[in-house]
Chains A and B, each alone.
Chain A
């Protein structure tokens, strides 16, 4: 776009500025309109799950409901506690929203990349980490015990789940050999646009782990402890009202949206799908955008489904789930991902292994054969690990939480 403007006669710095402004505006508008759509989408879906009809009065099918709610929040009183740290209290929602908006910079809209960073994955992780700062600022700045507790719980959760979340991406990076989201999308374009990572054992487990950890990152049920609205009165958002509260909400939904986008990009092939390459050009780009949005909103639907089904976890269950269950699985997944990569690229990438150490050459094996071996091996590793860890975790839970009949009979407890 900048090139086109330069050709029109703008100075180069000016054309870059204009082009960037337009892009930023588009992303911001896309993000917040997406968020508005999501609130409607979530409420409608969850109401159908509960045999209700949901918002359907404001506008056709209730589509203008978010706008009416925006007007409502804007006209509400904006109260700040007298003893609050005014600056921190004010900046907390700004930091939260800023962190979320940043991650929209690298999200591929189909095959259109606003910015193609070669470390986009790292960038997404880094901006995601900023959330905990905003949360702590809100909790601390409110000068309220409940807000502080909510903030602490939120930060504890965010930090705990950041680790499995980040490590769940590593298999993808290993398989692609790049941290650029564009490269990752391109790498999933085999088999007529259906070579998504989720179809490999490594990717499937990685997808499940990443999505679960992302639920916790986005404070979605069953991990919505920081703002557990029915127990600790909105947690770190206790002292926020009016538009500030709405900004928290906005950032929350936008980060959920971002999580869906990133998951779709990393594991579900982004905008890849049958027919994209065949069409090519602008039509192909449009089709890829449609694919991408469909995948993302399907993922969000799963989030809603989980919200409608699963009850909230207790804080200790939450922690033990992250550290004792997700983390070991993620480590095993990284291991099996390296096996996967090694088996598929045995000769191309590390010919030295055969040359120097006399490892068996697979140069004469077919690609399908290698693929079969890789699938078998990683499936074995992953399934075994899942079974083992689940078993251990179950037993652990049982020991601590329940008294079995035998124990009762023996008088052990």
Chain B
């Protein structure tokens, strides 16, 4: 072991030789060293140079803060583009898979028109209370969408608050650039390229304007850049199957498709009109509150199934039980 970082006078080697007369020299010298420390800490300046071994090392925390190194990591956050408001996440599930404590839960967004998955996340829940800050998610993310934050003041009196959902996870890229400039400049180019590609693959309405609600993000002008002009334009349009479909298809095809979809929707909703809103709300709500259920992506299934193979009273009973459970969970 080397002691080179200590001043030489701090290292006192006691020669344990039988012939030597020891009369507390070691202790006296030790007391002297400690007293010198006391004197320097009391009368000297507070220590600003970490290489120095003497003086006060205190940082009076809430008022004074150390500059955190760029690579410092605490909890994961998700990034979105300042200019367009599009989040970088494509819900590829890489982070969810690699997460050792399995605290990441992603729900993939679907094209409202076709019901097919698109490269965006509908919801993204991270359990901060169980997260171990390993940073695997940020390393594995191919789109540089998930990054590690520097904010460590997360204490709360409300435990469920530590299940953080999409909206609370999102930060603008400019925020991340401010806390880790070189780390971002390393990946900036490819990340932005990939983002542009992904935006192309999303239907217009998916991808949101986060400027207003995210902390640290300046209000984003929706049509700020011409490159992303398509997205905000689409967002302005009313959402709905018809709007999305009617672009490049012949007239009769569109009519056919609409009729098929209507039939599908009716089937999904079942005969029971009351079950339909539940089925719609289920994917997101269930993900937030009850993660095991969300993982199997089941909720829409059973609810839809109620109407088909059950007797009237059984279905009513099941509905009642489910409603009670939902109420218990505080929905």
Q: Which residue of B lies closest to A45 (CB)?
A: B38
Determine, out of B20-28, B66-74, B81-89, the stretch whose residues face the partner at the interface.
B20-28
Is A305 a contact partner of B31 (Cβ separation < 8 A)?
A: yes
Q: Does A183 count as interface, using CB distance less than 8 angstroms?
A: no
Is B31 a contact partner of A51 (Cβ separation < 8 A)?
A: no
Is B37 a contact partner of A51 (Cβ separation < 8 A)?
A: yes
Q: Does B16 count as interface, using CB distance less than 8 angstroms?
A: yes
Which residues of chain A have C-beta atoms less than 8 A from B33's C-beta?
309
Is B27 a contact partner of A309 (Cβ separation < 8 A)?
A: yes
Q: Which residue of B lies closest to A222 (CB)?
A: B27
**A 345-373 to B, binary, CB cutoff 8 A, 1 in contact else 0:** 00000000000000000000000000000
Within 8 Å by CB of B47, from A51, A398, A402, lies A51
Alpha-carbon separation in the docked complex, A256 to B41 (Å): 26
Smallest CB–CB gap between A343 and chain B, Å? 27
Smallest CB–CB gap between A325 and chain B, Å? 11
Q: Does A48 count as interface, using CB distance less than 8 angstroms?
A: yes
Smallest CB–CB gap between A42 and chain B, Å? 12
Is A390 a contact partner of B23 (Cβ separation < 8 A)?
A: yes
Which residues of chain B have C-beta atoms less than 8 A from A53's C-beta?
56, 58, 60
Q: Does A167 count as interface, using CB distance less than 8 angstroms?
A: no
Q: Does B321 count as interface, using CB distance less than 8 angstroms?
A: no
Q: Does A386 count as interface, using CB distance less than 8 angstroms?
A: yes
Q: Which residue of B lies closest to A47 (CB)?
A: B41
Q: Which residue of A lies closest to B39 (CB)?
A: A48
Alpha-carbon separation in the docked complex, A308 to B16 (Å): 23
Q: Does A413 count as interface, using CB distance less than 8 angstroms?
A: no
Q: Which residue of A lies closest to B60 (CB)?
A: A53
Which residues of chain A have C-beta atoms less than 8 A from B56's C-beta?
48, 51-53
Q: Which of B26-52 contact A (CB under 8 A)?
A: 27, 30-31, 33-35, 37-38, 41-42, 47
Within 8 Å by CB of B18, from A51, A305, A386, A404, lies A404
Q: Classify the secondary structure of B's interface with A.
A: loop
Q: Which residue of A lies closest to B22 (CB)?
A: A394
Is A310 a contact partner of B54 (Cβ separation < 8 A)?
A: no
Which residues of chain B have C-beta atoms less than 8 A from A50's C-beta?
37
Among A49, A391, A394, A402, the one with the most B-chain Cβ atoms within 10 Å of its Cβ is: A49
In the complex with contacts A305-B35, A309-B30, A309-B31, A51-B54 CB distance below 8 A = yes
Alpha-carbon separation in the docked complex, A391 to B38 (Å): 32
Which residues of chain B have C-beta atoms less than 8 A from A386's C-beta?
23
Within 8 Å by CB of B21, from A51, A306, A390, lies A390
Which residues of chain A have C-beta atoms less than 8 A from B30's C-beta?
309-310
Q: Which residue of A lies closest to B35 (CB)?
A: A305
Alpha-carbon separation in the docked complex, A398 to B57 (Å): 39
Q: Does B207 count as interface, using CB distance less than 8 angstroms?
A: no
Q: Does B55 count as interface, using CB distance less than 8 angstroms?
A: yes
Which residues of chain A have C-beta atoms less than 8 A from B22's C-beta?
390, 394
Is A305 a contact partner of B21 (Cβ separation < 8 A)?
A: no
Alpha-carbon separation in the docked complex, A308 to B42 (Å): 15
Which residues of chain B have C-beta atoms less than 8 A from A402's C-beta?
16
Smallest CB–CB gap between B60 and chain A, Å? 8
Q: Classify the secondary structure of A's interface with B.
A: helix
Alpha-carbon separation in the docked complex, A45 to B41 (Å): 10
Is B57 a contact partner of A305 (Cβ separation < 8 A)?
A: no
Which residues of chain A have C-beta atoms less than 8 A from B31's C-beta?
305-306, 309
Smallest CB–CB gap between B105 and chain A, Å? 41
Q: Which residue of A lies closest to B21 (CB)?
A: A391
Interface residues on B, range: 20 to 34
Smallest CB–CB gap between A209 and chain B, Å? 13
Is A49 a contact partner of B38 (Cβ separation < 8 A)?
A: yes
Q: Which of A364-413 contact B (CB under 8 A)?
A: 386-387, 390-391, 394-395, 398, 402, 404
Q: Which of A23-59 contact B (CB under 8 A)?
A: 45, 48-53
Q: Which residue of B lies closest to A57 (CB)?
A: B60
Alpha-carbon separation in the docked complex, A51 to B18 (Å): 36
Alpha-carbon separation in the docked complex, A391 to B35 (Å): 28
Which residues of chain A have C-beta atoms less than 8 A from B60's C-beta?
53
Alpha-carbon separation in the docked complex, A45 to B35 (Å): 10
Within 8 Å by CB of A52, from B21, B35, B54, B57, lies B57
Smallest CB–CB gap between B124 and chain A, Å? 39
Which residues of chain A have C-beta atoms less than 8 A from B27's C-beta?
309-310
Smallest CB–CB gap between B244 and chain A, Å? 60
Is A395 a contact partner of B47 (Cβ separation < 8 A)?
A: no
Among B21, B34, B47, B54, the one with the most A-chain Cβ atoms within 10 Å of its Cβ is: B34
Within 8 Å by CB of A51, from B16, B23, B35, B57, lies B57
In the complex with contacts A305-B31, A308-B34, A48-B18 CB distance below 8 A = no
Alpha-carbon separation in the docked complex, A309 to B58 (Å): 21
Among B16, B22, B38, B57, the one with the most A-chain Cβ atoms within 10 Å of its Cβ is: B38
Alpha-carbon separation in the docked complex, A335 to B77 (Å): 78
Within 8 Å by CB of A305, from B38, B54, B58, lies B38
Q: Which residue of B lies closest to A399 (CB)?
A: B18
Q: Which residue of A lies closest to B31 (CB)?
A: A309
Q: Which residue of A lies closest to B29 (CB)?
A: A309
Alpha-carbon separation in the docked complex, A306 to B22 (Å): 18
In the complex with contacts A53-B56, A53-B58, A387-B23 CB distance below 8 A = yes
Alpha-carbon separation in the docked complex, A386 to B16 (Å): 19
Alpha-carbon separation in the docked complex, A391 to B19 (Å): 9
Which residues of chain A have C-beta atoms less than 8 A from B38's C-beta?
45, 48-49, 305
Q: Which residue of B lies closest to A48 (CB)?
A: B41
Within 8 Å by CB of A49, from B21, B23, B41, lies B41
19 A-B pairs with CB atoms under 8 Å apart are A48-B42, A49-B35, A49-B38, A50-B37, A51-B37, A51-B54, A51-B56, A51-B57, A52-B57, A52-B58, A305-B31, A305-B34, A305-B38, A309-B31, A309-B33, A309-B34, A386-B23, A395-B18, A402-B16
- Mark B residues whose CB is within 8 Å of A: 16, 18, 21-23, 27, 30-31, 33-35, 37-38, 41-42, 47, 54-58, 60
Q: A48-B42, A49-B35, A51-B57 are in contact. List 17 more A-B contacts (CB 8 A).
A: A45-B38, A48-B41, A49-B38, A49-B41, A51-B41, A51-B47, A53-B58, A305-B34, A305-B35, A305-B38, A309-B27, A309-B31, A310-B30, A386-B23, A387-B23, A390-B22, A404-B18
Identify the 3 closest CB pairs spanning chains A and B, nearest first.
A48-B41, A53-B58, A49-B38
